[in-house]
Amino acid sequence: MNAPTRGNRKLAKLLDRASEDPQMRGWWHMAQVNANRLGMSDHSWIHVNIVVNIGMRLLRLLVRKGVEPAMVADHGMRDHDAEVVVAAGALFHDTGMSIHRTDHEAYSLFLAADKLPVLLDGVYEEPQRSIVIAEAMNAIIGHRRRGEPYTLEAGVVRVADALDLAEGRSRVPFEERRPNIHSLSAAAIDGVTISAGREEKAVRIEIAMNNSSGLFQVDELLATKLRGTPLEEHVEVIARIEAEHEKRLVPVFRI
Indicate the residue among 105, 138, 162 that finishes a domain: 162
Same domain, residue pair 100 and 79: yes
Q: How many domains does the chain have?
A: 2
Q: Which of 9-13, 43-47, 77-81, 133-137 has the lowest mean pLDDT?
A: 43-47
Same domain, residue pair 177 and 155: no
Of all residues in the chain, the percent with pLDDT exceeding 70 is: 89
* CATH number of 200's domain: 3.30.1340
Mean pLDDT score across all residues of the chain: 89
Same domain, residue pair 120 and 154: yes
Domain-located, residue 254: no
Q: What is the pLDDT of residues 175-193, one digit of tens each?
A: 455 566 667 777 788 889 9
Q: Which of 179, 166, 165 is nearest to 226 (CA)?
A: 165
Yes or no: say if 133 and 117 are a contact pair by the CB < 8 Å rule. yes
Residue 42 CA, chain-centre distance (Å), reads 12
| Three-class DSSP category at 203 | strand
Same domain, residue pair 89 and 179: no
User: Which whole number is the average pLDDT over 129-146?
Assistant: 94
Same domain, residue pair 193 and 150: no
Q: What is the pTM of this model?
A: 0.89
| Three-class DSSP category at 23 | helix
Same domain, residue pair 128 and 70: yes
Q: What is the pLDDT of residues 187-210, one digit of tens each?
A: 788 889 999 998 899 999 999 888
Indicate the residue among 162, 183, 202 that finishes a domain: 162
Range of the domain at 53: 9-162
- Tell me the C-alpha distance between 5 and 220, whole Å: 32
Of all residues in the chain, the percent with pLDDT exceeding 90 is: 65
Same domain, residue pair 147 and 220: no
Q: How confident is the model at residue 249 (pLDDT cuts 50, 70, 90)?
A: low
**String of DSSP letters for 124-146:** B-TTHHHHHHHHHHHHHHTTSTT
